[in-house]
């Protein structure tokens, strides 16, 4: 599975074929004294080079209760209902633990995923984007026309070099006066 550096809005779903008592050891990275990851079974099984833990979820499907996996994907992950409907039978037959990996987990790092057991790829789904509509602005002040290509806005006249020279003399003088004022008050 290819992850591009510009990937956005994809959700990868994996079944996690492990007994419940082994999930914590699989999910949690092992750190050395310097805070570097020395071992992470999830990393080995997914075959990634970089993954932000804040954008992955591992949970038992039974936690979804009446919502179910398809409902969670539509309501919780923002997948289009039509996309989930195509795989509804396969999704509803899933049991046990599930791994959800969002595109944000890769933080723009292009890489190749090569999932291995205990992971079993279920599918990759696209988050449904907000509908775009182009409506007229409600306020009367928003009406009018933009300048045409030939029109030029007026610019202040003067020599930019003189303006810079004036600023170079004025700013230190203003700072000196401000400092004297503070010294006089204290």
Mean pLDDT computed over every residue of the chain: 81
pLDDT of residue 169: 81
Cα distance between residue 127 and residue 79, in whole Å: 4
Q: Which residue's structure tokens are 């004025």?
A: 170
* Runs of H (alpha helix) within the chain: 23-27, 41-46, 68-71, 81-86, 88-92, 160-185
Given a cut of 70, is residue 165 above it in pLDDT?
Answer: yes
Tell the burial category of 51 from Cβ atoms under 10 Å away from its Cβ (0-12, 13-18, 19+).
buried
Given a cut of 70, is residue 74 above it in pLDDT?
Answer: yes
Given a cut of 70, is residue 148 above it in pLDDT?
Answer: no
Given a cut of 90, is residue 92 above it in pLDDT?
Answer: no
- pTM, 2 dp: 0.65
Residue 1: count of CB within 10 angstroms of its CB: 15
Answer for the pair 113, 1: CB distance below 8 angstroms, yes or no: yes
């Amino acid at each position: 599975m290819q992850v591009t550096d510009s990937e956005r809005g994809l959700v990868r779903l994996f079944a996690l074929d492990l007994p419940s008592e082994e999930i914590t050891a699989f999910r949690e990275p092992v750190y050395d004294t310097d805070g570097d990851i020395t071992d992470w079974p999830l990393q080995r099984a997914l075959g990634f080079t970089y993954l932000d833990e804040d954008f992955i979820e591992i949970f038992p499907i039974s936690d979804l209760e009446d919502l179910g996996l398809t409902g969670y994907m539509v309501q919780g992950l923002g997948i289009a209902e039509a996309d989930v409907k195509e795989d509804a039978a396969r999704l509803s037959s899933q049991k046990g633990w599930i791994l959800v990996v969002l595109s944000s987990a890769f933080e723009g790092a292009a890489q190749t995923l090569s999932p291995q057991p205990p992971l079993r790829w279920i599918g990759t789904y696209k988050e449904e984007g907000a509908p775009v509509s182009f409506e007229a602005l409600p306020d009367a002040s928003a009406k009018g026309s933009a300048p045409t290509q030939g029109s030029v806005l007026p610019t202040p006249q003067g020599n930019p070099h003189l303006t810079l020279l004036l600023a170079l003399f004025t700013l230190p003088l203003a700072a000196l006066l401000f400092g004297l004022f503070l010294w006089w008050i204290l």
